[in-house]
Structure 1
């Protein structure tokens, strides 16, 4: 049986209900079908990117929870003002350390919706865009765990990690200008923004961190290989930076 047919049975039939599986959210299903035959030779200017970040109660994706999600849209290799997405969600428990780091208070999360109420809207926002994030594997792990539980399946959108791109850029600089290479370079998002002279945004806020990563992404794409990165395949070949997270 073809995978697509099997998924449809799980989506709408008694088999899915018997297995306790949530119906696939339409946006996730459409993205999965779209990316199965995705053309990596598409020019970057024709791509749509969602730069995202999550704030968490902790780092264990099996136990900890999402507290907020922030996202910034890039089209035509430019940030789209007014197309941002942000939500605070209510976890089952908000540790004091979390409030100190993220500055999200107990009263904020008490008034916030649950993740199950927010995630469908975020899936619609994400659509068939490509995901960008700094150390994006962490964000993808938490989001995909939630998507499987609430929306019936994981995101199929390919993810690009700005931390990996920064590593590739620093390696490239070392090869070309060994006397300028910084052996003590930090790959922290805030430190990279300062090092490259990018606009600075408050740290540990999901939307601000997403905006910071968006500026970093655009900077790195324009700098890598002296600006000769024009397609998604160029980015993929550049240190094999693409990652899929399920």
Structure 2
């Protein structure tokens, strides 16, 4: 094929998706939400980005940890840097403490993303404001693998909002609108272990502890299945 035609084939989705995406898609064809929460495996992930421009910016790091039987598996983690198109340092990369030298040595998204998708396997993907992570993961996956991930997502920010809205009011009966829903603020509010911010794996671990804390609260309230959790949190699957 003439090389100049390749970008157009990707834009028109004329090339078949990468085999890892085909396998990923097959795993969720008959996905059911009615099982107890303890029956599901979760991968809690975080992405570090060159910035928040959804059209221009790129992923530079992915961190993830697996939850099995509602327990964090510290021996099952994923943490990789990704070499972006533009490796010049900017405010975002300085915040993440990732140097241009580290990014120059990092593997490309085409190499890292299949490994991450295999790590996710048939798990649900959990993240704090997970829609942002999934946007960049799916954008990158379309560009380098020819398709998007099929794993359903759960947003701990939405869960936290639902939990606090359902049980926390001031003495006049009004909801506390001043609450912060940042990851570090929620960790401190709920007395959770505190990890180093702006590191993909550390943020994934922070989110995992928050997720399990919120799950316990919802389960104490009689929510036991994934379907009930989605309905309680009004979370889009």
TM-score, scaled relative to structure 1: 0.86
Counterpart residue number, 1:82: 75
Question: Would you say 1:96 and 2:84 are equivalent positions?
Answer: no
Mind listing any 5+ residue stretches in structure 1 that lack a counterpart?
1-15
Match of 2:156 among 158, 162, 165: 162
Counterpart residue number, 2:113: 119
The 8 Å contact of residues 27 and 123 in structure 1, kept in 2 or not, is answered as yes
What is the alpha-carbon root mean square deviation over aligned residues? 2.2
* Aligned residue-pair number: 228
Pair 1:177–1:82, CA change in 2 (3 A): farther
More helix per residue: 1
Q: Report matched runs for 1:13-92 at 5 Å.
A: 19=12, 21-92=14-85
Q: Partners of 2:157 and 2:62 in 1: how far apart? A: 19
The 8 Å contact of residues 10 and 146 in structure 2, kept in 1 or not, is answered as no
Counterpart residue number, 1:5: none
Question: Would you say 1:228 and 2:218 are equivalent positions?
Answer: no
Match of 1:199 among 175, 193, 196: 193
The 8 Å contact of residues 50 and 73 in structure 1, kept in 2 or not, is answered as yes
Q: Partners of 1:70 and 1:178 in 2: how far apart? A: 42
The Cα offsets for residues 12-69 of structure 1, whole Å up to 9 and x where unpaired, read as: xxxx789564432333223323323211111111101010100000111211011100
Match of 2:130 among 126, 136, 152: 136
Pair 1:112–1:174, CA change in 2 (3 A): same
Q: Partners of 1:193 and 1:222 in 2: how far apart? A: 15
Question: Would you say 1:212 and 2:206 are equivalent positions?
Answer: yes
Counterpart residue number, 1:7: none
TM-score, scaled relative to structure 2: 0.89
Pair 1:185–1:84, CA change in 2 (3 A): same
Q: Partners of 1:53 and 1:133 in 2: how far apart? A: 6
Question: Would you say 1:240 and 2:234 are equivalent positions?
Answer: yes
- Runs (4+) off by over 3 Å: 16-23, 175-183
Pair 1:17–1:221, CA change in 2 (3 A): closer
The 8 Å contact of residues 46 and 63 in structure 2, kept in 1 or not, is answered as yes
1:184 CA drift (Å):
1.4
The 8 Å contact of residues 42 and 231 in structure 1, kept in 2 or not, is answered as yes
Pair 1:180–1:121, CA change in 2 (3 A): same
Partner SS for 1:98: helix
Larger mean Cα displacement after TM superposition, 74-83 or 25-34: 25-34
Q: Partners of 2:104 and 2:34 in 1: how far apart? A: 46
Match of 1:110 among 104, 107, 131: 104
1:180 CA drift (Å):
9.8
Pair 1:88–1:180, CA change in 2 (3 A): same
